[in-house]
Structure 1
Amino acid sequence: MSIEVTVPDIGDFTDIPVIGILVSVGDTVAVEDPLLELESDKATMEVPSPAAGKVAEIRVSEGDRVSQGSLVLILEGEGAEPASASAPAPAAAAAPAAPAAASAPSAPVTDRGFGKAHASPSVRAFARQLDIDLSKLNGTGRKGRILREDVTAHLKSASAPASGAAPSGGGMGIPPIPAVDFSKFGPVEDVEMARIKKLSGPALHRSWLNIPHVTHNDEADITDLDGYRRELDGAAKAEGYRVTLLSFVIKASVSALKQHWEVNSSLHPDGTKLIRKGYYNIGFAADTPGGLVVPVIRDADRKGIIEISKELGDLSAKAREGKLKGDEISGATFTISSLGGIGGTSFTPIVNAPEVAILGLTRSKMAPVWDGEAFQPRNMQPLSLSYDHRAIDGALAARFCATLKHLLGDVRRLML
């Protein structure tokens, strides 16, 4: 029987380019074998085969744009059921600060040269911001793909004075970092960056340039909470999952976000309004061999500590194996980046636009705390809240953190 293979559920992404066709007509494939590669600003995704069979027709070419439901391939199989419901697994996803879109609108430019350009969405957006015609560039990536470095090199070439003197500034008025021949000082080696870092780098840069970041630091007393957590974790180990502090921080964050809705909002594209959201999807940074990925706990306000803990474990395992689906890395309203297992005292996480805030956690420590009569040893958890100052002012950030530390200070309050 003939099976029409269509693009499965890829989350909120639409009109994304095909960057690779992994099979040819006549190839025999098994269920879940990768057929195509798609690339969005957040991830590179493989479209898996819904059934076993032989490739009869390929209906798309590299550079074509597709959305959920687009017909991409025809399989000839026997007794196989057509299925397009399983979402593609990202080969690499973005870091905790990788935004789905820039928070500030860029200057309008023409679309010349973009229709047939072999480049990722992030590179296209970068070129549009700089008003660069992609049809004039020769890509140095695989199969002639235009990379961000190609756009930067074109910009430097176009702005260099005829005299050959070094330009006084780089793109958008930012002075470029001069190239250095490090081999003059000792042995060097070029090491290819992980694909996740290549994808997330431009998004991080865009977020940092567009958002006026401020970071508020505070501490929460988690002495009693951590004792309760250890009890739950002891029982959880027997069932094959763990209960970590992050589960409680997610639960407390949702309660704090309900009290301070602006921290759960997004800036409207016109810059004059906030988009108030009636749902709470919490992203968390997961460390993988290829870099940081941000899975999302959806509808966290409807889940308890045990359910959140199990989902954290499942999503973290999928992230390490590169098997996250599109809806598992999109739609976050607030992100938490935890370095507690490594160390540190505070840091400045980059806001994951179009979100307006991100919470950073470092390792808790025992410290003497004055109780009014004497110093007592308490387990103190550092909190670092980075926020978009256009949507959140310092007083609101301080109130949000005060609410969060109040909730973490007594686990009973999370039940209210």
Structure 2
Amino acid sequence: MSAIVEIKVPDIGDFDQVDVIELLVAVGDTITAEQSLITVESDKASMEIPASQGGVVKAIKVKVGDKVAEGSVILEVEAAEEAAAAPAAEAAPAPTAAAPAAPAPVSAPVAAPTPVAAPAPASVAASAPARVSPTASYAEAEVPLRNLPHASPSVRHFARELGVNLAQVTGSGPKNRITADDVRAYVKQALATGGASPVGSTLPGGEGFSVLGWPKVDFAKFGEIEAKPLSRIKKISGANLHRNWVMIPHVTNNEVADITELEALRQQLNAENKKSGLKVTMLAFLIKAVVAALKKFPEFNASLDGDNLVLKHYYHIGFAADTPNGLVVPVIRDADKKGVFELASEMSELAAQAREGKLSPSQMQGGCFSISSLGGIGGTDFTPIINAPEVAILGVSRSAMQPVWDGKAFQPRLMLPLSLSYDHRVIDGAAAARFNAYLAGLLADFRRIIL
């Protein structure tokens, strides 16, 4: 006969909670007493937690990343009835002398001694409720066993904060020990080359830092759910957005433009051309102003190609179009050669094709700069994600009447928020601020476009 026995974390000294950084056994393994089960780490040292008795592992109750404390259940083993029936006090008597030191993990510079404090009596331990892992509903992360790198706990903690897989870092310290400088050098190299090939989860194309596997949760345990597949557009755009956000160092500059006179002009043009059925939107004016700004600041009309900056002498402007299946970005070619009415007409046609799912790939390629306008929906500011291989994108939010001081009194003015995200590898903060300020000035006095 056999019984299921819980193996718990013993007294670990002065630490309230420690992180589980390695699992040393798997379900189905046969373990013996004193065999190491998990490796835990505090901010000062790491240590291995041994088994209090042997048996066959039936369930593991902790995972990498969990925090455990004295009394936390590590795993369940199936033990022989004779071993399970033995008094608990016999397995863990109150010691009268210091217990032997726990075996040193391969990564720890100094072995952490097993604490000498006596555990609670068996009757108390049996009645105490078992601690459940806060990530018990997650599937096990795909982390190889016994893969702890040769680095100090502080360096491993530093690497986890940066998302770096230490298995791919070459140590420069004694006996190839990994130092904090080695981690920094790895990050710099990864950023310079566009990412490293990780062991864990990867970005599209196999690039990026290694991270733990995505948590798998049985959401139905918590309530009613409905599974709905992502649209094809969202699958494609989502992968691109993920790549762009991770691989491009985004910075966003926020500005407001006084469009009081420009809005009056727009309404006047629409009133005069009411019979034509063509409606001029603010986005048409924005495209003209953006082209003028790109001509004054050519580094924004460029793409990064390795160590070279490719400056473009054409002006193809993309604009985000909202469709039932997700966002797409049609491109208006040679926007510098088109007037406001022609831009408004072409935008209307492209947006209609986007909503009907009839855009061809060529109509969404070749863009130099993109505009994402949420003005018709709302919001004050946001951070648009750069559409690689472009180096900047303009986000436009909803305009609003605001009191603006003219030197003598506050005047009601229609103000338009502008959010310029830029690739900091190519564009510095001062250039971005100048671009946004110049663009706001053009929108405030559209006559400057002809200068």
* Partner residue, 1:204: 241
Q: Is this contact kept in 2: 1:267–1:274, CA < 8 A?
A: yes
Q: Does 1:409 align with 2:418?
A: no
Q: Is this contact kept in 1: 2:141–2:212, CA < 8 A?
A: no
* CA deviation after TM superposition for structure 1 residue 237, in Å: 3.5
Deviations 1:206-241 (A, max 9, x none): 111110000000100000000000111223342122
* Partner residue, 1:322: 357
Unmatched segments (≥5 aa) in structure 1: 1-155
Q: Which has the higher contact order (CA 8 A, sep 6+)?
A: 1
1:119-138 aligned at under 5 Å gives the runs none
* Partner residue, 2:333: 298
Q: Does 1:266 align with 2:309?
A: no
Among residues 428, 432, 438, which one is paired with 1:397 in the alignment? Answer: 432
Instruction: Report percent identity of matched pairs.
Output: 59
Q: Does 1:308 align with 2:355?
A: no
Q: Is this contact kept in 2: 1:236–1:243, CA < 8 A?
A: no
Among residues 404, 408, 418, which one is paired with 1:373 in the alignment? Answer: 408
Alignment partners' CA distance in 2, 1:308 and 1:355: 21
* CA deviation after TM superposition for structure 1 residue 273, in Å: 2.1
> When the two structures are superposed, what TM-score results if normalisation uses the length of structure 1?
0.59
Alignment partners' CA distance in 2, 1:291 and 1:360: 17
* Partner residue, 2:101: none
Q: Does 1:332 align with 2:367?
A: yes
Amino acid at match of 1:179: K
Alignment partners' CA distance in 2, 1:175 and 1:159: 7
Amino acid at match of 2:324: P
> What's the secondary structure of 2:273's corresponding residue?
helix
* CA deviation after TM superposition for structure 1 residue 158, in Å: 10
* Number of equivalent positions: 258
Q: Does 1:183 align with 2:166?
A: no
Structure showing greater radius of gyration is: 2
Among residues 247, 265, 269, which one is paired with 1:228 in the alignment? Answer: 265
Deviations 1:161-200 (A, max 9, x none): 359xxxx964432234412211111101101111100111
Q: Does 1:160 align with 2:143?
A: yes
Unmatched segments (≥5 aa) in structure 2: 1-138, 147-164, 166-199, 203-208
* Partner residue, 1:250: 287
Q: Sort the Cα spacing of 1:160 and 1:305 in 2 relative to 1 into closer, same or farther, 3 A.
A: same
Deviations 1:370-392 (A, max 9, x none): 11111100000000000100010
Amino acid at match of 1:408: L
Q: Does 1:213 align with 2:250?
A: yes
* CA deviation after TM superposition for structure 1 residue 159, in Å: 4.5
> What's the secondary structure of 2:375's corresponding residue?
coil
Amino acid at match of 1:198: K
Amino acid at match of 2:285: F
Q: Is this contact kept in 2: 1:284–1:336, CA < 8 A?
A: yes
* Partner residue, 1:71: none
Deviations 1:244-264 (A, max 9, x none): 000000000000000000011
* CA deviation after TM superposition for structure 1 residue 414, in Å: 2.0
Amino acid at match of 2:300: V
Q: Is this contact kept in 2: 1:282–1:332, CA < 8 A?
A: yes
Deviations 1:289-346 (A, max 9, x none): 1111100110000011011011111111111111122321110000000000000000
Q: Does 1:358 align with 2:379?
A: no
